[in-house]
Structure 1
Amino acid sequence: MAVWDKKVLCGFIFLLTGAVSQRVNYSDPVCGVKGSTVTLLCTFTPGTTVTDGGEVSYEITRVLWCQNQGICQTTNPTVYDNKQQNNPDNPRYRYLGDTKGNCSLQISALEEEDDATLYFRMEGDTLSSFYAGRAGVRVTVVDVTQMKILSSRDGEFKRGEAVTLTCTTKCTFHQLQVTWFRDGHALTDTGPSLHLGPLTAEDSGNYTCNLKNNVSTLSHPFSLNVEAGEEEPSTPTVAVIVGVVVGVLLALCSLILVLCIIRRKRAADKNQSAVRGEAGPKPDDDVSSNVQRGGDTEAEDDVSYAPIQFKARSQARPVEEADDAIIYSSVVGRG
C-alpha cells in the first residue's frame, strides 16, 4: 500500500511540474490606427511528461487565438484556429507562429471590432497538455490620433548638412501612407520618414504630416531653418543648360551667315572689277596714220604731214579729247 501511494505521489508531482512549466509570454499592449496592420508578439513553452525514456515535452497539435476569453474555450468563437483550413471566417488574422514555441499573430486592416483582449491556447494529445495564457494582450484601435514629427538631430541646421524627419504617434500605423507638407504644400514623399539633404535655403519652412486622407491626424508644425552661409556653387538647371546650348547654336548660325555675306560680297566685287577691265583702253589699233609723200622719191627734203583723227568708242567711258593734238610723222627721204 505504501509503495502504491509513493507511485501516485511521484506521478502527481511530475504532472504538477509539467503543468507549471507550461507558459505563454505576450507582448506589451498594442495600439493601432484603424485600417493599419499590427503584430502581436507571443511565445509559449509546452509542458513536459515523463516516459520510460525520461522527461519529454508535450507535442502541440492545435493552436488557437480568441477574444475576451481567459481560457479560450474551443467551443467559443475564435479569431484563429489551425484546425480550420485557411481560417475562412477571419481572413484578416494571420498566424505567424508554429507548434514549437512561436505563437505570434498578425491583424491587418484593423477595425473597431478588433479593440479587445486576445488570448492564446495550445493543445496536445492529452487533456493535461492543453494550456491557455490568461494574461492576454490588449489591442486598442483608434480612429483619430495626432501625429508628431521627430528630428534625427537637434540644434541649428547649416547648408550642406542632412536631417531626417519622422512622422510618428503612440499607435501603430503600419502599411498606411503618410502625407508630408512644407508650408502647407504637399510633398511627393509618402513614407513615415522624410530625408532632407544636403540642405539648402529652399528646405527652410514649417513641416507637417498626417495619415493619408485623414486630416484629423495632422501634426503640429516642425520649423526647419537653414542658416545662411557661404554661397554654394549653383547647380546648373535644365533651363540654364538649354539656354546655353541655344545661345551657342545662334552664335554659330550668325557667324556662318556673316561669312556667307562676306563671301558673296567679295565675289560680286571681283565680277565688277572684271567688267571694268574689259571696258578699259586697248592698244591704239584704231589710230591710223596716213603718211603722204608729195611727189616722187626724188625730192629728198620734202616732208608731208598727215593729220591724225580719234574715233569715238561705243563704251560709256568718256572720250578724252586731245586739243590740238597732232602727231607728226617725219619721213626721211631716200637719198
Structure 2
Amino acid sequence: MAVWDKRILWAVMLVLTGALGQRVNYPDPVCGIKGSTVTLPCSFNTLKSVKIIRVVWCKNHEICQRETPSVYDSSSNNNNPRYRYLGDKKGNCTLQISDLQKEDNATFHFRMEANDPRASFTGQSGVRVTVDQMEIRSSRDDGEFKRGEEVTLNCTAAICSIHQLEVSWFRDGSALSESGPTLHLSYLTAMDSGNYTCGLKKNKRTLSVPYSLHVEADEEGGGLPLIAGLVVGVLLVLFAVVLVVCIINRMRAAGQDQTAVGWDRGQQHSDNIYSNILLPPAEQQGPSSCGGSQLRVQFTHKKQARPAEEAEEPIYSSVARTG
C-alpha cells in the first residue's frame, strides 16, 4: 500500500503543478552521429512565487528523483564534462552533449526543484536522442577492383540525415582533397588501394568504419615495368649513339694512319739508294791524280726494317778503278 500511496501522491502533485501552469518544453527528437555534438533546446515555466534551487537532467527515468543517476546536477561537482548545461534556473534548460556515444541513445528528462517542494516539477515527455554511425556504401558489393575500373563511395548514416553537413574523406588516416557525401574514383590504380573513412568535417571522432579498397595489379605488374622499359629503351639509344661515334672516330683514325704509312714508305725507298763514298788516304795517292791512283767508291746498304716483299737486291758494293 505504501508504494501505491507514493505513486498516487506523485500523480496528484503532477496534476497540481500542471494546473498551476508549470511545464517543460522539449525539442523534437534529435538524431546525432557518434562522436558529434548535439544540443537539446529546452525551456520551462514555473510559479513566480517560488525559487528554483536545483535543476537536473537524467535519462531513461520519468521523474529524475534525487536517487536517480543524472547526467547533470546543478548541486553536484562531479558532472560528466560531456554534458554541459547551457541554461539557468529561470526558464532556460538547454543541454549540450559532446562526443556522442552509444549510451546516449536514450530519452532525456529535465527536472526543476523549488524551495517549495510542491512546486518541483519534471517534464515527463522528455526528448528522444538517437545515436547513429557514419558508414561508407560502395557502388560495388566487394572491395576488389582491377586497374582502370571506377567506383563511387557514399558517406551516409542509417538513420540520421547528413545531407546538410560537411563531410571529409580520408585514406589510411590521411585527409583527401575531396569533400562532400560522395567520393568518385575513376581509372583506379594500385595507388588508390587503402582503407577509406569518412566523417564530419573537422571532427575525426565521427569517422566511419573503414572501407577496404584493393586494386589488383595488371599482368605486367602495373606501372613499374612500363617505367623500366622506358629506361632500358633510353639506355639502348644512348649506347647506339656512342657506338656510332666510336666507329666514325676509328675510321677517321684509320685514314690518317694510311696516309702516314704511305709517306713512310716513300721515305724508305729514298733511303735505300745510298751510300758512302770512300776516298783512299792521302798517302796512298800518287803525286798525280791520274798516275796510278785508285778511286774506290763503296756503297753501304742501310739496314732498314721493311717488309720482306719490298726487299730489293743491293746495288753494287764497290767500284774500283786503277790507273
| TM-score normalised according to structure 2 size | 0.48
- Identify, as 1 or 2, the structure richer in helix: 2
Q: TM-score, normalised by structure 1?
A: 0.47
